[in-house]
Structure 1
Amino acid sequence: MKKDYYQKVAFLGVLLIILSGFQKYTDKKDNFTDVRFITESTVPLSEFDPNDLDVKQWQKLGFSEKQVAAIFHYKELIGGKFISKTQLKKCYAIKAEKFEELSPYILLPENTQKTGIYTPKNPVEKTLNLSGKFNPDHISADRWIQMGFTEKQAEAILKYKKYLGGSFVSKEKFKGCFIISEKKYHQLEPYLLLPDKDVTNSSNHTTKIQYHTFDPNILDMDGWQSLGFSQNQTKVIINYRDRNLKGSFKSLEDVQKCFVISAEKFEELKPYIKIALPSISTKQEKTDFSKIDLNVITFKQLLEFGLDERSAASLIGFRRKLGGFVNKQQILETYNIDKELAEKLISICPLNASEVQKYTLLDAPEEWLKNHPYFKYSADKIIFYRVSNPDEKKIWKFLKLKPEYETRMKLYLK
């Protein structure tokens, strides 16, 4: 009985100790009142248009350098502009929780099902500073900024012009610039010194073009474009003449067969086409190749020099893709070229590379990068890296190219 008694007393003692400890714990003051939770953003949130943010502004919203680079890359992929919250939400660099935090402040419609265009919430567009009529082809970035556009918007407008080939061509094409809103276009439209539509694509363009007698065998790029053909159409016509027809149109039917010359266009041109064929009785003068520039030598002249059709066509095609040769050794790189004859050719003919178009890695058009033989395999990387790292030295470092590849690319860079 004594043993049972002492066990009960011991149990009660342990119970009292536990209750005493619990009482002290519950009497303590809440120590969590001073804890502060820090949001990812480093600036107070306010309404913003994600299309206007630069790299630093995205970082201030709490995104890392890599996330910002991914956002800009995604923006390029969708056409250079976010048009709805739904579209922005799909960017993998923006987590769902972060998007929910930013969503109330984003000046974009929820989706594009109703309007199909960018219509920001509570839009506030400044009235543009327009003093008189002007041709947008001749406007610099500083002048666009003076009108009321931001620096980034001015750069985008100039980049769009370069994409079109260096000219806006028409009001219709100018309106297609994604950075110019409907409201701003309506402000600008009365002041634009541009035709309403591209006359080269218009059904009534005959009233705009003054035709004249011409020989299709001696027309260059500018000559064909003056007749109303686009730059791409002109390249096809010249390629058709120099390669398929071995350097010259022999008849009107040869001109008519070129697929980029429509039946209607051919009928317009037909009265003015005069093909001067060499007389059989007269001996054709030989070409003085010491005076023929390798950047303008024709398919026919290459055949005269002694190259076969395959070699001549390869040389002309390679030169066109490069935009012109910069040094003579490039000719020896031509696929299918007769090396022995090519070496003889470059020892005789001069080379003028002053007209070859060159860019920097930062301003090279995307289409040019993707089509140029020396750049096309690195084009996507260049386009991606220059968005977040606008420094050529860093871009070269990121590309990690073999020295010989880098040397070739620099031939076409400023």
Structure 2
Amino acid sequence: MKKNYYQKVTLLGVLLIFLFGFQKYTGTENDNFPAVKFASENINSVTISEFDPNELDQKQWQKLGFSEKQTETILKYKTIVGGKFTSKEQLKKCYAVSADKFAELESFILLPESSKSGDFKSFEKKSIVVVKRFNPDQSTAQDWIKMGFSEKQAEAILKYKNYLGGSFISKEKFKECFIINEENYQKLASYLILPEKTPANFKSFNKNFSNEKQKIQYRNFDPNSLDIDGWKTLGFSDKQANTIVNYRGRILRGSFKNLEDIQKCFVISAEKFAELKPFIKLNQTSSTNTAQKNEPKQEKTDFSKLDLNTITFRQLLEFGLDERSAGSMIGFRKKLGGFVNKEQILQTYNIDKDLVEKLLSICALNSSGVQKYTLIDAPEDWLKNHPYFKYSADKIIYYRVSNPDDRKIWKLLKVKPEYEARMRLYLK
């Protein structure tokens, strides 16, 4: 009897607990649960404005909607393609940029649609590209360079603006800038935020330039007798004056022979040469002797007979490169094991591109001595240290163990076409 009694009591207790729990559960329908928010509901569409992908840092890429890992990939890809995106087409090939994301950004990217083809693209004349209306009075040197003008041209355009008093005044006056040829003007005209005609009171704008010009009192001078300080008194910076003296001593063997020699010096703009020309008095006999006394003797090198794969650090300095440019070029050549084409040289960081382009137009390039391998027999150290192979070295070493065939390895690597093209330069 007692046993049955306790069993009934236990059963009743369990039943009461169950009923109490059920009641509490069903009574929560009126409780204020926090609203469930999905991540997709909180992602606001990114407000995008026109941008140059070459100017974006890691945080700015992330603001466009890319993850930290995607951003690192994009910046690494930019380094691999030479440190600069040259077209939308090139950016699109980065695997961190999906087709949908590229389609979203494409109309805002300030780059041409595609790069010009050719083995030596850096020597091709840049075309002027304008993507929106702009006030040229507000454009900096960098803005003009982005449009396709060279650094020297950008500098000359700004000097012309200063000549006009700090403003281009009108499309009519803008067109008179000697840097702006008819073809370029036609491309720019419809984008210029300027009046069509020059105002009647234009002469009053010349005041600033007149005052600026009075600071330099030009007198007759012999360019072969001027030292660095002498060139600085003519309005050149320290760097420009050094370049002129080096150009005279190392390229021209100690003296300017004629006015054309002076005009060819790339730091002397056409406008500056026009200012100096009436005062230049060349005295070749005495000036040559003076130049030889004042300047250290330079090794006379015929650069047309030099090979870019054997040119020395000292010879690069003799040509006019500074130590940083010369060191970068020699260092990159050493890492590559030799240059295969001239375009690689212009991809070197920290070089004076204007001066190096002149060097490339004079010197020959013999790549017959460059060591080349197959993917099968390439030494591991070579793969891991070569700038073009080091990012794929581990994969190559792994794949070739079980697939000793170059064609199969290429299929497994799945590298982008531009990377493969660079790698094949050093393969048999």
Same fold (TM over 0.5): no
What TM-score results when the alignment is normalised by the length of structure 2? Answer: 0.31
Q: Please state which structure has a larger fraction of its residues in helix.
A: 2
